[in-house]
Amino acid sequence: MMDIWVAGVGEIPCRPIYDDMDFREMLYRAAVKAYFDAGITPAEVDGVVSSGMDFYEGMSITDSYTPDQVGGRLKFNTLVSNDALNAIIHGCMLLKTGHFRTILVTAYAKASNILNYSEIVLNSFDPHVIRPLTPHFYTIAALDARAYLTNSGCEARDLSLVAAKNKRNALRNPSAAFAENTSVEEVESTEVVSEPLRRGHVAVPCDYAAAVLLTTEKELGKVRVEAFGYAAGSYSPDLSLKTWGQSGWARAALDIAFKQTRLRQVDFVEISEPFAHSELMALDAFGVIRESICKTLRDGGFNIDGHLPVNPSGGCIGMGYPLNAAGLQRLVQSVNLLRTGRWNSCLVASPDGEVVDGGAVVVLRVEA
Protein backbone atom coordinates (compact mmCIF):
# COMPACT_ATOMS: atom_id res chain seq x y z
CA MET A 1 0.00 0.00 0.00
CA MET A 2 1.40 3.38 -1.02
CA ASP A 3 1.97 5.77 1.89
CA ILE A 4 0.78 9.36 1.68
CA TRP A 5 2.17 12.26 3.64
CA VAL A 6 1.34 15.86 4.31
CA ALA A 7 4.43 17.70 3.09
CA GLY A 8 3.31 21.20 4.03
CA VAL A 9 0.36 23.36 5.00
CA GLY A 10 -0.47 27.02 4.57
CA GLU A 11 -3.38 29.21 5.55
CA ILE A 12 -4.37 32.78 6.03
CA PRO A 13 -6.09 33.45 9.36
CA CYS A 14 -9.88 33.42 9.58
CA ARG A 15 -11.46 36.85 9.56
CA PRO A 16 -15.04 38.07 9.38
CA ILE A 17 -14.00 39.86 6.19
CA TYR A 18 -10.90 40.34 4.04
CA ASP A 19 -11.89 43.54 2.30
CA ASP A 20 -8.32 44.16 1.12
CA MET A 21 -7.97 40.90 -0.86
CA ASP A 22 -10.02 38.92 -3.36
CA PHE A 23 -10.13 35.13 -3.22
CA ARG A 24 -7.25 34.74 -5.69
CA GLU A 25 -4.96 36.83 -3.49
CA MET A 26 -6.09 34.91 -0.41
CA LEU A 27 -5.35 31.56 -2.08
CA TYR A 28 -1.99 32.82 -3.37
CA ARG A 29 -0.85 33.70 0.16
CA ALA A 30 -1.98 30.34 1.54
CA ALA A 31 -0.27 28.42 -1.28
CA VAL A 32 3.02 30.32 -0.88
CA LYS A 33 3.04 29.36 2.81
CA ALA A 34 2.37 25.69 1.96
CA TYR A 35 5.23 25.61 -0.58
CA PHE A 36 7.56 27.25 1.93
CA ASP A 37 6.50 24.78 4.63
CA ALA A 38 7.09 21.83 2.31
CA GLY A 39 10.38 23.18 1.02
CA ILE A 40 9.41 22.68 -2.62
CA THR A 41 8.45 24.93 -5.52
CA PRO A 42 5.30 24.95 -7.67
CA ALA A 43 7.36 23.34 -10.45
CA GLU A 44 7.52 20.17 -8.34
CA VAL A 45 3.74 19.82 -8.02
CA ASP A 46 1.98 17.39 -10.36
CA GLY A 47 -1.59 18.53 -9.94
CA VAL A 48 -4.15 20.57 -8.03
CA VAL A 49 -7.39 19.48 -6.39
CA SER A 50 -9.52 22.42 -5.34
CA SER A 51 -12.61 22.34 -3.19
CA GLY A 52 -15.28 24.71 -4.30
CA MET A 53 -18.99 25.28 -4.54
CA ASP A 54 -20.07 27.45 -7.47
CA PHE A 55 -23.20 27.82 -5.42
CA TYR A 56 -21.36 29.76 -2.68
CA GLU A 57 -19.02 31.63 -4.92
CA GLY A 58 -21.63 32.99 -7.31
CA MET A 59 -19.49 31.97 -10.28
CA SER A 60 -19.71 29.06 -12.67
CA ILE A 61 -16.84 26.58 -13.20
CA THR A 62 -14.82 27.99 -10.30
CA ASP A 63 -12.10 25.36 -10.83
CA SER A 64 -10.99 27.32 -13.87
CA TYR A 65 -10.33 30.25 -11.51
CA THR A 66 -7.97 28.21 -9.32
CA PRO A 67 -4.72 27.07 -11.01
CA ASP A 68 -2.94 30.41 -11.65
CA GLN A 69 -2.69 31.64 -8.08
CA VAL A 70 -1.68 28.29 -6.57
CA GLY A 71 1.03 27.33 -9.05
CA GLY A 72 -1.09 24.86 -10.99
CA ARG A 73 -0.88 26.27 -14.49
CA LEU A 74 -0.62 23.62 -17.26
CA LYS A 75 -1.03 20.86 -14.68
CA PHE A 76 -3.72 18.36 -13.78
CA ASN A 77 -6.56 20.30 -12.15
CA THR A 78 -9.89 19.18 -10.77
CA LEU A 79 -12.63 20.62 -8.60
CA VAL A 80 -14.27 18.59 -5.88
CA SER A 81 -17.59 19.76 -4.62
CA ASN A 82 -18.81 19.33 -1.04
CA ASP A 83 -16.53 19.87 1.95
CA ALA A 84 -12.79 20.33 1.40
CA LEU A 85 -11.89 17.17 3.35
CA ASN A 86 -13.41 15.36 0.39
CA ALA A 87 -10.86 17.19 -1.79
CA ILE A 88 -8.08 15.85 0.45
CA ILE A 89 -9.44 12.34 -0.09
CA HIS A 90 -9.48 12.90 -3.86
CA GLY A 91 -5.89 14.11 -3.66
CA CYS A 92 -4.93 10.96 -1.78
CA MET A 93 -6.68 8.77 -4.34
CA LEU A 94 -4.86 10.51 -7.19
CA LEU A 95 -1.54 9.84 -5.46
CA LYS A 96 -2.49 6.19 -4.93
CA THR A 97 -2.87 5.74 -8.69
CA GLY A 98 0.90 6.04 -8.85
CA HIS A 99 0.72 8.63 -11.62
CA PHE A 100 1.33 11.60 -9.31
CA ARG A 101 4.06 12.36 -6.78
CA THR A 102 2.80 15.58 -5.23
CA ILE A 103 -0.69 17.08 -5.21
CA LEU A 104 -1.76 20.49 -3.89
CA VAL A 105 -5.22 20.67 -2.30
CA THR A 106 -6.77 24.09 -1.88
CA ALA A 107 -9.94 25.63 -0.51
CA TYR A 108 -11.16 29.05 0.39
CA ALA A 109 -14.24 30.79 1.71
CA LYS A 110 -15.18 34.36 0.92
CA ALA A 111 -18.34 34.26 2.99
CA SER A 112 -18.28 38.05 3.23
CA ASN A 113 -19.08 38.17 -0.51
CA ILE A 114 -22.43 36.45 0.08
CA LEU A 115 -25.11 38.97 0.92
CA ASN A 116 -28.00 36.51 1.42
CA TYR A 117 -26.40 33.31 2.65
CA SER A 118 -29.54 31.81 4.20
CA GLU A 119 -31.39 32.17 0.90
CA ILE A 120 -28.45 30.59 -0.97
CA VAL A 121 -28.65 27.63 1.41
CA LEU A 122 -32.42 27.45 0.84
CA ASN A 123 -31.64 26.79 -2.82
CA SER A 124 -30.00 23.50 -1.84
CA PHE A 125 -33.39 22.09 -0.86
CA ASP A 126 -36.16 20.58 -2.96
CA PRO A 127 -37.89 23.32 -4.99
CA HIS A 128 -41.38 21.86 -4.55
CA VAL A 129 -41.52 20.44 -1.02
CA ILE A 130 -39.15 22.63 1.03
CA ARG A 131 -38.32 25.91 -0.68
CA PRO A 132 -41.90 27.28 -0.77
CA LEU A 133 -41.95 27.02 3.05
CA THR A 134 -38.80 29.23 3.26
CA PRO A 135 -37.24 27.77 6.42
CA HIS A 136 -33.99 29.39 7.58
CA PHE A 137 -31.26 26.73 7.81
CA TYR A 138 -30.93 27.49 11.54
CA THR A 139 -34.48 26.15 11.78
CA ILE A 140 -33.54 22.89 10.06
CA ALA A 141 -30.42 22.60 12.23
CA ALA A 142 -32.58 23.22 15.31
CA LEU A 143 -34.84 20.30 14.34
CA ASP A 144 -31.71 18.14 14.27
CA ALA A 145 -30.51 19.56 17.59
CA ARG A 146 -33.88 18.89 19.27
CA ALA A 147 -33.95 15.30 17.98
CA TYR A 148 -30.36 14.73 19.12
CA LEU A 149 -31.02 16.06 22.61
CA THR A 150 -34.19 13.95 22.91
CA ASN A 151 -32.48 10.77 21.72
CA SER A 152 -29.21 11.19 23.60
CA GLY A 153 -30.41 12.48 26.95
CA CYS A 154 -28.19 15.55 26.58
CA GLU A 155 -29.60 18.94 27.58
CA ALA A 156 -29.67 22.28 25.80
CA ARG A 157 -27.05 23.56 28.24
CA ASP A 158 -24.62 20.94 26.88
CA LEU A 159 -24.61 22.86 23.59
CA SER A 160 -23.32 25.87 25.52
CA LEU A 161 -20.62 23.68 27.07
CA VAL A 162 -19.41 22.80 23.57
CA ALA A 163 -19.48 26.41 22.37
CA ALA A 164 -17.68 27.79 25.44
CA LYS A 165 -15.02 25.05 25.22
CA ASN A 166 -14.30 25.78 21.58
CA LYS A 167 -14.22 29.56 21.99
CA ARG A 168 -11.77 29.20 24.86
CA ASN A 169 -9.61 26.70 22.94
CA ALA A 170 -9.40 29.20 20.10
CA LEU A 171 -7.57 31.66 22.38
CA ARG A 172 -4.39 29.62 21.70
CA ASN A 173 -4.91 29.73 17.94
CA PRO A 174 -3.62 32.81 16.06
CA SER A 175 -5.77 31.85 13.05
CA ALA A 176 -9.02 32.07 15.01
CA ALA A 177 -11.43 34.96 14.47
CA PHE A 178 -13.92 34.32 17.26
CA ALA A 179 -11.79 33.28 20.25
CA GLU A 180 -13.23 34.37 23.56
CA ASN A 181 -12.58 33.67 27.20
CA THR A 182 -16.26 32.98 27.71
CA SER A 183 -18.31 30.89 30.13
CA VAL A 184 -21.23 28.52 29.73
CA GLU A 185 -23.43 31.11 31.42
CA GLU A 186 -22.42 33.76 28.88
CA VAL A 187 -23.27 31.45 25.97
CA GLU A 188 -26.55 30.60 27.71
CA SER A 189 -27.39 34.31 27.84
CA THR A 190 -27.21 34.73 24.04
CA GLU A 191 -30.53 35.01 22.18
CA VAL A 192 -32.47 31.94 21.10
CA VAL A 193 -32.52 31.77 17.29
CA SER A 194 -34.52 28.56 16.95
CA GLU A 195 -35.08 26.40 20.02
CA PRO A 196 -32.91 24.83 21.37
CA LEU A 197 -30.24 26.74 19.42
CA ARG A 198 -28.87 30.01 20.71
CA ARG A 199 -26.81 32.52 18.77
CA GLY A 200 -23.76 31.34 20.72
CA HIS A 201 -24.22 27.78 19.43
CA VAL A 202 -23.81 28.86 15.80
CA ALA A 203 -20.42 29.09 14.07
CA VAL A 204 -20.17 32.44 12.29
CA PRO A 205 -19.20 32.29 8.59
CA CYS A 206 -15.75 33.72 7.89
CA ASP A 207 -13.23 34.43 5.13
CA TYR A 208 -10.35 31.96 4.96
CA ALA A 209 -7.98 30.19 2.57
CA ALA A 210 -5.80 27.11 2.97
CA ALA A 211 -3.49 24.92 0.91
CA VAL A 212 -2.13 21.47 1.73
CA LEU A 213 0.64 19.65 -0.12
CA LEU A 214 0.24 15.88 -0.24
CA THR A 215 3.08 13.65 -1.36
CA THR A 216 4.18 10.05 -1.71
CA GLU A 217 7.79 11.04 -0.91
CA LYS A 218 8.54 10.07 2.69
CA GLU A 219 11.49 12.46 2.92
CA LEU A 220 9.11 15.38 2.31
CA GLY A 221 6.49 14.10 4.76
CA LYS A 222 5.72 15.85 8.04
CA VAL A 223 2.59 13.93 9.01
CA ARG A 224 1.33 10.62 7.64
CA VAL A 225 -2.17 10.26 6.18
CA GLU A 226 -3.02 6.99 7.91
CA ALA A 227 -6.52 6.44 6.52
CA PHE A 228 -9.54 8.20 5.06
CA GLY A 229 -13.20 7.62 4.34
CA TYR A 230 -16.24 9.36 2.99
CA ALA A 231 -19.92 8.41 3.22
CA ALA A 232 -23.28 9.85 2.35
CA GLY A 233 -25.81 9.48 5.13
CA SER A 234 -29.58 9.35 4.97
CA TYR A 235 -30.01 12.81 3.53
CA SER A 236 -32.47 13.76 0.80
CA PRO A 237 -33.05 17.31 -0.49
CA ASP A 238 -36.72 17.16 0.50
CA LEU A 239 -35.52 16.15 4.02
CA SER A 240 -38.05 13.29 3.99
CA LEU A 241 -35.49 10.50 4.41
CA LYS A 242 -33.27 12.34 6.86
CA THR A 243 -32.74 10.57 10.17
CA TRP A 244 -33.14 13.52 12.50
CA GLY A 245 -30.62 13.87 15.30
CA GLN A 246 -28.11 11.46 13.79
CA SER A 247 -24.95 11.86 11.71
CA GLY A 248 -25.42 8.73 9.62
CA TRP A 249 -22.34 9.48 7.56
CA ALA A 250 -19.89 9.51 10.47
CA ARG A 251 -19.66 5.83 11.39
CA ALA A 252 -19.92 4.70 7.77
CA ALA A 253 -16.99 6.95 6.81
CA LEU A 254 -14.99 5.80 9.85
CA ASP A 255 -15.60 2.14 8.96
CA ILE A 256 -14.07 2.79 5.53
CA ALA A 257 -11.06 4.39 7.22
CA PHE A 258 -10.73 1.51 9.71
CA LYS A 259 -10.14 -0.87 6.79
CA GLN A 260 -6.92 1.03 6.05
CA THR A 261 -5.42 1.21 9.54
CA ARG A 262 -5.10 -0.78 12.73
CA LEU A 263 -5.16 2.42 14.74
CA ARG A 264 -8.27 2.47 16.93
CA GLN A 265 -7.36 5.20 19.39
CA VAL A 266 -6.37 8.74 18.59
CA ASP A 267 -5.01 11.53 20.80
CA PHE A 268 -7.48 14.23 19.70
CA VAL A 269 -10.35 14.92 17.32
CA GLU A 270 -10.86 17.91 15.06
CA ILE A 271 -14.39 18.07 13.66
CA SER A 272 -16.12 20.85 11.77
CA GLU A 273 -19.11 22.00 13.80
CA PRO A 274 -21.33 24.55 12.05
CA PHE A 275 -23.49 24.21 15.17
CA ALA A 276 -22.60 23.03 18.66
CA HIS A 277 -24.74 19.91 18.32
CA SER A 278 -22.94 18.95 15.07
CA GLU A 279 -19.87 18.10 17.18
CA LEU A 280 -21.83 15.94 19.62
CA MET A 281 -23.86 14.18 16.93
CA ALA A 282 -20.77 13.13 15.02
CA LEU A 283 -18.90 12.02 18.18
CA ASP A 284 -21.92 9.94 19.16
CA ALA A 285 -22.17 8.41 15.70
CA PHE A 286 -18.49 7.44 15.60
CA GLY A 287 -19.28 5.09 18.46
CA VAL A 288 -15.73 5.04 19.76
CA ILE A 289 -16.41 6.56 23.19
CA ARG A 290 -17.63 4.10 25.79
CA GLU A 291 -19.23 6.58 28.18
CA SER A 292 -22.19 8.71 27.17
CA ILE A 293 -21.18 11.73 25.12
CA CYS A 294 -22.89 14.26 27.40
CA LYS A 295 -21.36 12.77 30.55
CA THR A 296 -17.89 12.88 28.98
CA LEU A 297 -18.51 16.47 27.88
CA ARG A 298 -19.71 17.54 31.34
CA ASP A 299 -16.77 15.78 33.02
CA GLY A 300 -14.33 17.74 30.85
CA GLY A 301 -13.23 14.71 28.83
CA PHE A 302 -13.32 16.71 25.58
CA ASN A 303 -11.42 19.68 27.01
CA ILE A 304 -7.92 20.36 25.76
CA ASP A 305 -6.50 18.62 28.85
CA GLY A 306 -9.19 15.89 28.86
CA HIS A 307 -8.69 12.27 27.86
CA LEU A 308 -9.92 12.97 24.29
CA PRO A 309 -9.57 16.66 23.37
CA VAL A 310 -12.14 17.65 20.75
CA ASN A 311 -11.46 20.70 18.63
CA PRO A 312 -8.38 21.87 20.54
CA SER A 313 -7.97 24.39 17.69
CA GLY A 314 -11.24 26.06 18.65
CA GLY A 315 -13.25 24.41 15.89
CA CYS A 316 -15.51 26.44 13.64
CA ILE A 317 -17.25 28.10 16.58
CA GLY A 318 -13.96 29.48 17.84
CA MET A 319 -12.20 30.04 14.52
CA GLY A 320 -15.07 30.94 12.21
CA TYR A 321 -16.96 28.75 9.76
CA PRO A 322 -15.35 28.88 6.31
CA LEU A 323 -18.21 27.07 4.53
CA ASN A 324 -16.87 24.24 2.33
CA ALA A 325 -13.28 25.07 3.37
CA ALA A 326 -14.05 23.90 6.93
CA GLY A 327 -12.56 20.45 6.31
CA LEU A 328 -9.26 21.89 5.12
CA GLN A 329 -9.30 24.32 8.04
CA ARG A 330 -9.60 21.29 10.37
CA LEU A 331 -6.82 19.40 8.56
CA VAL A 332 -4.39 22.34 8.70
CA GLN A 333 -5.06 22.84 12.42
CA SER A 334 -4.56 19.10 13.01
CA VAL A 335 -1.22 19.06 11.22
CA ASN A 336 -0.07 22.12 13.16
CA LEU A 337 -1.19 20.57 16.47
CA LEU A 338 0.56 17.25 15.72
CA ARG A 339 3.75 19.11 14.91
CA THR A 340 3.81 20.69 18.38
CA GLY A 341 4.91 17.25 19.64
CA ARG A 342 2.16 17.09 22.24
CA TRP A 343 0.09 14.50 20.34
CA ASN A 344 0.86 11.67 17.92
CA SER A 345 -2.42 10.94 16.14
CA CYS A 346 -5.79 12.47 15.44
CA LEU A 347 -9.12 12.01 13.70
CA VAL A 348 -10.16 14.82 11.35
CA ALA A 349 -13.82 14.93 10.37
CA SER A 350 -16.04 17.29 8.46
CA PRO A 351 -19.68 17.15 7.38
CA ASP A 352 -20.71 18.35 3.93
CA GLY A 353 -22.42 21.47 5.21
CA GLU A 354 -24.64 22.77 7.97
CA VAL A 355 -27.52 20.34 7.69
CA VAL A 356 -26.35 17.70 5.20
CA ASP A 357 -25.95 14.10 6.32
CA GLY A 358 -22.71 13.29 4.52
CA GLY A 359 -19.07 13.83 5.29
CA ALA A 360 -15.46 12.74 5.39
CA VAL A 361 -12.87 11.54 7.90
CA VAL A 362 -9.08 11.47 7.72
CA VAL A 363 -6.76 9.86 10.27
CA LEU A 364 -3.36 11.53 10.70
CA ARG A 365 -0.30 10.27 12.55
CA VAL A 366 3.25 11.35 13.22
CA GLU A 367 5.89 8.67 13.18
CA ALA A 368 7.22 8.00 16.68
8 Å CB contact between 274 and 329: no
8 Å CB contact between 209 and 26: yes
Q: From the DSSP assignment, how many helices (H) and strands (E) are in the chain?
A: 13, 11
8 Å CB contact between 74 and 349: no
8 Å CB contact between 90 and 80: yes
354 near other proteins, rule: CB under 8 A: no
155 near other proteins, rule: CB under 8 A: no
> Distance between CA atoms of 47 and 169, rounded to whole angstroms?
35
The one segment of 73-81, 131-139, 164-172, 328-336 that binds other proteins by CB under 8 A: 131-139
Backbone angles phi, psi at 274, to 5 degrees: -55, -30
Show the binding pattern over residues 71-110: x = contacts other proteins (CB under 8 A), - = does not: ----------------------------------------
Q: Is the preceding omega at residue 132 within 30 degrees of 0, hence cis? A: no
Q: Using CB under 8 A, which of 52, 71, 135, 358 touches other proteins?
A: 135
Shortest distance, position 144 Cβ to other proteins, whole Å? 7
Shortest distance, position 234 Cβ to other proteins, whole Å? 10
61 near other proteins, rule: CB under 8 A: no
- Pick the closer one to other proteins by CB: 118 or 292: 118
Shortest distance, position 148 Cβ to other proteins, whole Å? 9
Q: Using CB under 8 A, which of 128, 259, 262, 290 touches other proteins?
A: 128
Helix axes 156-169, 137-152, angle to 10 degrees: 110
Shortest distance, position 59 Cβ to other proteins, whole Å? 10
Q: Using CB under 8 A, which of 21, 32, 93, 130 touches other proteins?
A: 130
- Pick the closer one to other proteins by CB: 192 or 299: 192
- Please count the CA atoms within 13 angstroms of the CA of 130 that sit on its side-chain side: 17
Q: Using CB under 8 A, which of 29, 90, 110, 146 touches other proteins?
A: 146
Q: Using CB under 8 A, which of 32, 93, 239, 289 touches other proteins?
A: 239
Instruction: Say which DSSP state 107 is in.
Output: E
Of 193, 121, 60, nearest in space to 356 by CA:
121
Q: What is the DSSP string of 148-184?
A: HHHHH---HHHHHHHHHHHHHHGGG-TT-SS-----H
Shortest distance, position 312 Cβ to other proteins, whole Å? 31
240 near other proteins, rule: CB under 8 A: yes
Q: What is the DSSP string of 134-148?
A: ---HHHHHHHHHHHH
- Pick the closer one to other proteins by CB: 90 or 146: 146
Binding site for other proteins (CB under 8 A): 116, 118-119, 122, 127-130, 132-136, 138-140, 142-147, 150, 191-197, 238-241, 244-245
